[in-house]
Structure 1
């Protein structure tokens, strides 16, 4: 991101919880309380009766959702350079045209926006960008474009400009779906990255061979879909559903960590080298879970995979703080 004078800053795409100040403040408050009670007891005076603590005001959970299809959003844009990396969405690299965007945490939505596209309009015109990254410091309505994309809509010396943007529905696809099994995966722990889907994804399901039960994978914030107990040794069928209800199934996905496996099935609009149709039935989305962002380095594999179409199938609690020790009740304080 840039301030308009020094150029874009290199930014780590991870969220760091700011706990130090809270812990320090809590420690100071606790120490002060203990010292006060100690001094009062040494002087022989009974400690004053403290008013009961007030319950903490409820904190509204952040609304995590990608930009809604068909909704025009207005805000501002800055720009940055990913250095060719694929961002928090864990893609092996940035798009070849280098037209991409990072969204703030609320719109990145723990990875739910990954792989979608925005049409962004600025002072000089419009550009279409792929959602590839998270901008931890960006408030809702603040998007962070690549330097190349920003130059399409504004003069980079401006640094920050007002923009409008809209999520693209069914953007043209560059090719069929690709699948990348994560490093460290095995028959006992399954993780796959799906790319080339156009619309954001709603669900990914996996089954061993062609006769096993479908198992729902859970999306991580870094855009891999996980089955913690594994999905068997493979090969797999992987059924993919997007937010527009398109659903397709690719077969022959191998347990080949780090390799990009290219199928012959497209998310919509037909296939290359086969007959596949898609159904349009929404399916429940798994709850994303926060996790650290890996930086995979895959090698490409272009072996075509078979594909089939299948009919649609029906489809946090905050940790409690540890109890705080309370001094014994003093006579005369409500007893």
Structure 2
């Protein structure tokens, strides 16, 4: 049910102060080890690195998100992109002129660990555009605020026999997504283009979707319909150490260009499914916050400092 396609992006680099135009194939290579993604604990301490900038030459990055309204986003190299596990997280990046918060939005196949490829808008907030490359410090943000509640987009081509959904505005790195259509929950696996798949399908819907982040925060999104190509906005937030729930609304949006697909994975979700959470079952329309105050992850995060050591 999946297609293979590539994305051509334009990235601006600098050599000796001169900007160099480089066209690259925007496909993140899968880095697997025994069927699971390579990832290592990063913590949220500041790391050092360098930043360049690029201009997006498509309607979406490899994370399949719409371009943020503030145009503040970042592309990460294969080791830090980690097969899409970093998608939707936020980094605070400090450069010579100040600090900016960016959303992980895209992959940068040629970027080594510590090399962040920022949107031009983000780069100009922390450095001089003419420099092309600047030294930076950066860190993963735990429990950031998000510009909107969580949304779900069912992928084109999905049906009762093949489930594919993108989750946005979840704030922290996601560890698991489970889906029910009136029966038991099925566990979805993440692709490197940031859709969660159930290859045998999850039924015709409407769906309940349980999401869990690496800090143990969980939310159940209800009333999600089988509406491919539509962004379904919920009233659920799971961020900043607290979460709220409101009634779900479904807002059709103009069909965007299909998500750039590098390669689908039939492996176990990465990171692995979290088994932490409240002892008592939650009502279906509530969100639990379990352990956000300590900002200690319940499982390994994406290593934003160096390439995974077990690849």
**Secondary structure at 1:229 match in 2:** coil
Distance in 1, Cα, partners of 2:136 & 2:99 = 10
Q: Is the 8 A contact 2:28 2:192 kept in 1?
A: no
Q: Which residue of 2 aligns with 1:161?
A: 134
Distance in 2, Cα, partners of 1:67 & 1:8 = 34
1:60, distance to aligned residue in structure 2 (A): 12
**Secondary structure at 1:126 match in 2:** strand
Distance in 1, Cα, partners of 2:287 & 2:128 = 48
Taking a change above 3 Å as real, the CA distance of residues 72 and 203 of structure 1, as seen in their structure-2 partners, is same
Q: Which residue of 2 aligns with 1:223?
A: 194
Of structures 1 and 2, the one with the larger relative CO (CA 8 A, separation 6+) is: 2
Q: Which residue of 1 aligns with 2:26?
A: 13
Q: Which residue of 1 aligns with 2:12?
A: 2
| Higher helix content, 1 or 2 | 1
Distance in 2, Cα, partners of 1:233 & 1:63 = 30
Distance in 1, Cα, partners of 2:35 & 2:149 = 37
In the superposition, the TM-score normalised over structure 2's length comes to 0.71
Does 1:197 find its partner at 2:174?
Answer: no
- Return 5+ residue gaps in structure 1 as ranges: 18-58, 275-284, 289-305, 316-335
Q: Which residue of 2 aligns with 1:308?
A: 285
Taking a change above 3 Å as real, the CA distance of residues 150 and 189 of structure 1, as seen in their structure-2 partners, is same
Does 1:239 find its partner at 2:225?
Answer: no
Distance in 2, Cα, partners of 1:287 & 1:270 = 24
Computed over aligned residues only, the root mean square deviation of the Cα atoms, in angstroms, reads: 2.9
- Provide Cα deviations, 1:281-330, integer angstroms capped at 9, x if missing partner: xxxx7148xxxxxxxxxxxxxxxxx9613779xx9xxxxxxxxxxxxxxx
| Higher strand content, 1 or 2 | 2
- Return 5+ residue gaps in structure 2 as ranges: 1-10, 248-267, 272-282, 290-298, 300-311
Runs of 4+ in 1 over 4 A off after TM superposition: 59-63
- Provide Cα deviations, 1:71-97, integer angstroms capped at 9, x if missing partner: 221111111011462201011x21011
- Provide Cα deviations, 1:46-67, integer angstroms capped at 9, x if missing partner: xxxxxxxxxxxxx999983388
1:265, distance to aligned residue in structure 2 (A): 1.3
Does 1:286 find its partner at 2:299?
Answer: no
Kindly tell me the number of residue pairs found equivalent between the two proteins.
243
In the superposition, the TM-score normalised over structure 1's length comes to 0.67
